[in-house]
C-alpha cells in the first residue's frame, strides 16, 4: 500500500523555512518523507499519536532533534504534513 502526501501551502512555507534554517537536515528530511509514502510505520520514523492540544495529530522523527507533525487519514491512505521543526517548535 502506498500513502499519498498532501502538502498544504502553509506546510510548504514552514518546510521551506525549516530547510533554509537547517540545510544539513535536508537529506534526512527528504528520506523521512519518502519513507512516509512507503511505510509510515517504519521503526526509524517512530510514528506516534500526540496527546493534549495536538491529540488529533501524529508525529514522526526526522532525526533525534527534528520532527514532523502530521494528520493521517487512514481510510484514504493520505498523509497531510502539518508542521516541521525541532521538538519544542512542533509541540
Q: What is the pLDDT of residues 13-26, one digit of tens each?
A: 999 999 999 999 99
Distance of CA 3 to the CA centre of its chain: 13
Is-contact 75 3, C-beta < 8 A?
Answer: no
Using DSSP, state whether 14 is helix, strand or coil. Answer: helix
CATH homologous superfamily, domain 4-90: RelE-like (3.30.2310.20)
Q: For 29-53, how does the pLDDT look when each residue is reduced to its tens digit (9 = 90+)?
A: 999 999 999 999 999 999 999 999 9
pLDDT of residue 2: 86
Report d(CA 79, CA 40) in Å as an integer: 9
How is the chain split into domains, by residue range? Answer: 4-90
- Integer-rounded Cα radius of gyration of the chain: 12
Amino acid at each position: 500500500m502506498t500513502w499519498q502526501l498532501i502538502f498544504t501551502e502553509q506546510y510548504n512555507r514552514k518546510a521551506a523555512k525549516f530547510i533554509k534554517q537547517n540545510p544539513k537536515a535536508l537529506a534526512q528530511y527528504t528520506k523521512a518523507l519518502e519513507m512516509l509514502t512507503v511505510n509510515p510505520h517504519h521503526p526509524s520514523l517512530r510514528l506516534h499519536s500526540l496527546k493534549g492540544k495536538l491529540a488529533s495529530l501524529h508525529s514522526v522523527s526526522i532525526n533525534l532533534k527534528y520532527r514532523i507533525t502530521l494528520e493521517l487519514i487512514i481510510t484514504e491512505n493520505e498523509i497531510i504534513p502539518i508542521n516541521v521543526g525541532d521538538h519544542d517548535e512542533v509541540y
